Amino acid sequence: VLQVYGNSMTPTLQEGQIVISLKDSDFQQGDLVAFYLGNKLLVKRVIASPGQWVDIREDGTVYVDDVKLEEPYVDELTMGQCDIELPYQVPESCYFLMGDHRGSSVDSRSSSVGCVSKEQIMGKIVFCVWPMESFGPIG
């Protein structure tokens, strides 16, 4: 059980929501995952898996293996805080993660976060339990 802090996952998740994370080891593109970065527990979306190529155009459009991602969960596309060289190949046993609020999310586009190893990932976010008006499955 986790509480969401910050706005990097809006509009999908809002600050203060309480969500359920299930331990899993099979993460797919589009899954929301909770992972540790240092002593902080963060939530981001899986964009690419080990071995895949990620490219982000100047307008913020994301391509994985030269296929444009359809991202209805993103309100505004932007390059955001990107200091990695693109296109970028995801290392083995790692995942490329991005927040849904691309303008404020610090994620795999930044060398300060980078790709996230499978061992860092605590689980997949699957359900919201609070507030009651958001109660239900996430995905």
Structure tokens at 112: 């300060």
Any catalytic annotation for residue 23?
A: no
CB-based contacts of 86, cutoff 8 Å, min separation 6: 54, 55, 56
36 and 21 Cβ atoms separated by less than 8 Å: no
Give 133's strand partners: none
* Given the residues 44, 105, 108, 124, the one annotated as active site: 44
Q: What does the alpha-carbon distance between residue 116 and residue 19 come to, in Å, rounded to a whole number?
A: 21
Give 137's strand partners: 127
* Given the residues 8, 21, 105, 108, the one annotated as active site: 8
Any catalytic annotation for residue 44?
A: yes
Report the catalytic residues: 8, 44
